Amino acid sequence: MQIALRKLSQGASLKQSIIYCRTFSTKNVIDIGQPTPASHPQLLKEGEVTPGISSEEYVSRRKKFLELLPEKSLAIIAAAPVKMMTDVVPYNFRQEADYLYMTGCQQPGGLAILGHECGFCMFMPDAIPHDIIWQGKVAGVDDALETFKAEKAYPMRKLREILPDMIKGSSTLFHNVHTAIPAYMNLEPFQKAADTGRVKDVACITHELRLIKSPAELKLMRESASIACQALLQTMLHSKMYPCESILSAKFEYECRIRGAQRMAFNPVVGGGPNASVIHYSRNDQKIKDGDLVLMDVGCELHGYVSDLTRTWPPCGSFTSPQEELYDLILQTNKECLKLCKPGASIRQIHNYSVEKLRKGLKEIGILQREASSSYHMLNPTSIGHYLGMDVHDCSNISYDRPLKPGVVITIEPGVYIPSYFGGSERHQGIGIRIEDEVLITESGYEVLTGSIPKEIKQIETLLNNFGNGMKVGMENQM
């Protein structure tokens, strides 16, 4: 019996984000291996399969998928496998995005089949008593029919009896090449189809569907971005007293998790000083020297949807002159690229504009001798942005030349990464700066989902210095 429960509000303040649940008995609630409205009413509303996404939306996704699937074709989408850290210790499980998008199942071991004749069929892992004792219950055939709304469902042990005939009746097969498993790839009909060039990557269909987000998806993405912004703000405030990469990484993850995030979107990049010039630096094991900048590229995942943002700042509270002139160039590039985000534009067009502006700016500062210098690509080999959604680099099959449409979410992330050994301006050596925002394309232009986190120089310096003074006073009063 539920006595007291207050609904979790993702992306709200920390106080609002705490789940209050004095007594909640699960005695009569069936465990299917993942949260349900009955087992986790603080996470899911009635009718939702995963938090924020209704059963009707999953049915609609599969209907749209079948509309894009060629006639007499069959799609086979496998769940992500369990990956092991050691022989008995698994890594935390994360579901493969296409499988989650089509089914709502957050568990390993399953297989989803979609076709015009079979509809939506699922093969579910067999429940092994030993595994249930050690790892808990998993969704079975009945759950596939009742919770995930499969039209047909079978235990995985019947795969070799049923799937071959389904494959034989298909002219073309689509499957997820990243999670393909021998259980179906070793079937003779699949191998024959592969040998005759009739097997394709299902991503050419699923990525088209995932590119434009639904209102429910955008709500989750806003909440994920909000959590990341709040967490990064707290981390920035923390950095003056604790200028250490590992501590700032831990602080960000802690602040995300207590606000409801399930995991980091990727290993946080926390680069202090010259480490910031390593684009995907991930060691996070160095103390940040006084006067150096720290670059944090971070994001979290909330119920299958990720955030991704970057800020660069001096934990000491003040930019040096070389840092400030480089930072201002990146900031102005960020702002001007945001203005280009609108329906009809493309990531490629925005990228090309950013390259022109950065080349010109770096020459004016004295880092490049000529705007056309080939050294530019050493200082910034990255794209201005990427698609964002269930994966950090979402919908990788979609070209950056594709005109943007309302409902697409991208990143805008200009940067410059000057190695300590770079032969240009000595006073800029070892400086890395990136400013990254999440941007939703709207009917009239764009919406910055990460706009709440400061990026103006004066804002950052005021924030750090006011907080630092307050911290110092507070610590002195405790002594």
pLDDT in tens, 4-25: 333 333 444 444 444 334 344 5
Q: CA-CA distance, 332 to 316, in Å (whole number)?
A: 23
Angle between helices 347-365 and 321-339 in degrees, nearest 10: 150
Contact between residue 139 and residue 124 where contact means Cβ atoms under 8 Å apart: yes
Q: What is the pLDDT of residue 17?
A: 45
Mean pLDDT of 137-159: 97
Query: Tokens 């010259």 map to which residue?
Result: 274
Mean pLDDT of 250-271: 98
Q: Which domains does the chain have, with CATH numbers?
A: 48-210 (3.40.350.10), 213-471 (3.90.230.10)
Contact between residue 404 and residue 345 where contact means Cβ atoms under 8 Å apart: yes
- Tens-digit pLDDT profile for residues 394-436: 999 999 999 999 999 999 999 999 999 888 788 999 999 999 9
Angle between helices 55-68 and 203-211 in degrees, nearest 10: 130
Q: What is the pLDDT of residue 179?
A: 96
Percent above pLDDT 90 for the chain: 86
Q: What is the pLDDT of residue 35?
A: 97
Is the pLDDT at 319 greater than 90, yes or no?
A: yes
Contact between residue 310 and residue 271 where contact means Cβ atoms under 8 Å apart: no
- Tens-digit pLDDT profile for residues 235-252: 999 999 999 999 999 999
- Tens-digit pLDDT profile for residues 72-107: 999 999 999 999 999 989 999 999 999 999 999 999
Mean pLDDT of 325-353: 98
**Band (471; pLDDT cuts 50, 70, 90):** low
* pTM confidence score: 0.91
List of long-range contacts for 136-145, beta carbons under 8 Å, 24+ apart: 136/31, 136/33, 137/31, 137/32, 137/33, 138/32, 138/33, 138/107, 138/109, 139/32, 139/33, 139/34, 139/105, 139/107, 139/110, 140/32, 143/32, 143/33, 144/105, 144/110
Q: What is the pLDDT of residue 145?
A: 98
Q: What is the pLDDT of residue 344?
A: 98
- Tens-digit pLDDT profile for residues 430-455: 999 999 999 999 999 999 999 999 99
Q: What is the pLDDT of residue 468?
A: 54
- 447 or 129: which leads in pLDDT: 447
Q: What is the pLDDT of residue 27?
A: 62
Q: CA-CA distance, 433 to 115, in Å (whole number)?
A: 48
**Band (122; pLDDT cuts 50, 70, 90):** very high
Longest dimension (CA), the chain: 78
Nearest to 443 by CA among 406, 477, 388: 406
Nearest to 181 by CA among 197, 160, 161: 160
- 428 or 470: which leads in pLDDT: 428
Q: What is the pLDDT of residue 467?
A: 78
Mean pLDDT of 362-381: 90
> Which of the residue ranges 15-24, 190-199, 343-352, 467-476 would you say has the lowest mean pLDDT?
15-24
Q: What is the pLDDT of residue 9?
A: 39
Is the pLDDT at 1 greater than 50, yes or no?
A: no
